[in-house]
Amino acid sequence: MTMSPSTSHTPVPLLRFENFQVAFARGPAVRGLDLSVHRGEALGIVGESGSGKSITWLAALGLLGSAARISGRVLFEGQDLLGMTPKALARLRGGRIALISQDPMSALNPVKRVGHQVAEVLRLHRGMQDA
C-alpha cells in the first residue's frame, strides 16, 4: 500500500540545522552542518576541543559577535533563528532554548552571588519578581 503525499505525515523537527556554516577572518569554524531533532529525541554532540561544538550553539542563538559570518538555516519550531531580531531571539533564549556551557567558569560569574545570577535568569525569561 502506498500513501499519497496528502495523507502521509512526516513530523516537523523541533530543531533543524540546514547547511549551517560559521566562519571568522582566520577561517571556517563550522562547515555545512545538517541535523534534525524531533520532539522526544535527545542529541549529544561530542568532539575534540576546538571542533565547533560551542561555536555552533552560540551562533545559532545569536550570541557571537559581529566578527562571525553565519549562513544556512536554523529552524526552531519552524522559525528561522538566523532571521530573527535580537529582541525575538532574547525571548526564546532561556525560556524555550537554553545553552549549558561546558565550562562552569563561563556559566556563572564568580564575583557575583549565585542566587542573584539565578534570580536574574528567572526575571528575564520567566517574568518572575524578587520575593
Model confidence pLDDT, tens digit, residues 41-93: 988 888 888 888 889 999 999 989 888 999 999 999 999 999 999 889 888 88
How distant, in Å, are the alpha carbons of 39, 65, 114 from that of 59?
Answer: 22, 9, 26
Could you tell me the residue ranges of all domains in the chain?
15-86, 100-131
Global pTM?
0.70
Of 81, 78, 100, 80, nearest to 89 (Cα)?
A: 81
Q: What cell numbers appear for 123 in the block?
A: 526575571
Per-residue pLDDT at 56: 94
Q: What is the pLDDT of residues 20-34, one digit of tens each?
A: 999 999 999 999 999
C-alpha cell of residue 24:
571568522
